[in-house]
Chains A and B, each alone.
Chain A
Amino acid sequence: MIPLSYYLILSGVLFSIGVVGVLISRNAIVIFMAIEVMLNAVSLTLVAFSQQTGSPAGQVFVFLVMTIAAAEAAVGLAIIIVIFRSKESVNVDEVNLMKW
Chain B
Amino acid sequence: MFDYIILIPLFSLIGFLLNGFLGKRLGKSFVSWVGPGSVGLSFTLALKLFLDLLALPADQRVIESITFPWIISGDLQVNIAFLLDPLSAVMMLIVCGVGFLIHVYSIGYMHDDPGYARYFSYLNLFEFSMLVLVLANNFLLMFLGWEGVGLCSYLLIGFWFEKKSAADAGKKAFIVNRIGDFGFLLGMILIFITFGSLNYLEVFETAPVLLDVGSGLAVAITLLLFTGAVGKSAQIPLYVWLPDAMEGPTPVSALIHAATMVTAGVYMVARCHVLYLLAPFSLSVVAVIGAITAFYSASIGLVQNDIKRVLAYSTISQLGYMFLACGVGAFAAGIFHLMTHAFFKALLFLGAGAVIHALAGEQDLRKMGGLKNHLPVTFVTFLIATLAISGVPLFSGFFSKDEILWKSFSQGNPFLWLIGIITAGLTAFYMFRLFFLTFYGQPRFDSHRTHPHEAPKSMTIPLIILALLSALGGYIGLPESLAGKNVFEKFLAPVFEAGTHLESAVHTYSHSTEYSLMLMSIAVAFIGIITAFRFYLKNPVAAEKIKTKFATTYRLLLNKYYMDELYDRIFVKPFLNLALYFWQFIDVQIVDGLANGSADFVAWCSKVFRKVQTGYIRNYALSLALGVVIILTYILTR
Write the residues of chain A forming the contact surface with B, with a CB cutoff of 8 angstroms.
Answer: 19, 22-24, 26, 92-93, 95-100
How many chain B residues touch the partner (CB < 8 A)?
Answer: 11
Given A19-B625, A23-B625, A98-B615 contact (CB < 8 Å): yes
Check B621–A22 contact: CB distance below 8 A: yes
Contact present for B611 and A100 (CB under 8 Å): yes
The smallest C-beta distance from B501 to any residue of chain A, in angstroms, reads 89
User: Which residues of chain B come closer than 8 Å to A97, judged between CB atoms?
Assistant: 615
Identity of the chain A residue whose Cβ is nearest the Cβ of B614 in the assembled complex: A99
A-B CB contact pairs (8 Å), 17 listed = A19-B625, A22-B618, A22-B621, A23-B618, A26-B618, A92-B617, A92-B618, A93-B616, A95-B615, A96-B614, A96-B615, A96-B616, A98-B613, A99-B613, A99-B614, A99-B615, A100-B613
- Find chain B residues with CB under 8 A from A93 CB: 616, 618
Chain B interface, >50% SS class = helix
Chain B 399-411, CB-CB to A under 8 Å as 1, else 0, gives 0000000000000
0/1 string, B602-624, CB within 8 A of A gives 1: 00000000110111111001100
Starting from the known contacts A23-B618, A93-B618, A100-B613, 4 additional A-B residue pairs (CB-CB under 8 Å) come to A19-B625, A96-B615, A96-B616, A99-B613
B positions within 8 Å CB-CB of A: 610-611, 613-618, 621-622, 625
Give the distance in Å from the alpha carbon of A43 to the alpha carbon of B123 in the complex. 93
Min CB gap B404→A, angstroms = 86
How many whole Å from B356's CB to the nearest CB in chain A? 75
Bound-complex Cα distance A3 to B618 (A): 36
Q: Decide: A100 and B625 in contact? CB cutoff 8 A.
A: no
Tell me the nearest residue of chain A to B610, going by C-beta: A100
Question: Could you say which residues of chain B place their CB within 8 Å of the CB of A99?
Answer: 613-615
Chain A positions within 8 Å of B611 at CB level: 100
Chain B residues in 8 Å Cβ range of A95: 615, 617
In the complex formed, the residue of A with least CB distance to B611 is A100
B294: min CB distance to chain A, Å: 80
Give Cα A97 to B613, complex, Å: 10
Give the residues in chain B near A26, CB-CB below 8 Å.
Answer: 618
How far, in Å, is B623 (CB) from chain A's closest CB?
10
Report Cα–Cα, A7/B384, bound state, in Å: 125
CB-CB under 8 A from B613, the residues of chain A are 98-100
> Which of B611, B617, B621, B625 has the largest count of A CB atoms less than 10 A from its CB?
B617
Nearest A residue to B617, CB-CB: A92
Tell me the minimal C-beta distance from A99 to chain B in angstroms: 3
The 9 closest A-B pairs by CB, nearest first: A99-B615, A96-B615, A100-B610, A92-B617, A99-B613, A100-B613, A22-B621, A98-B615, A96-B616
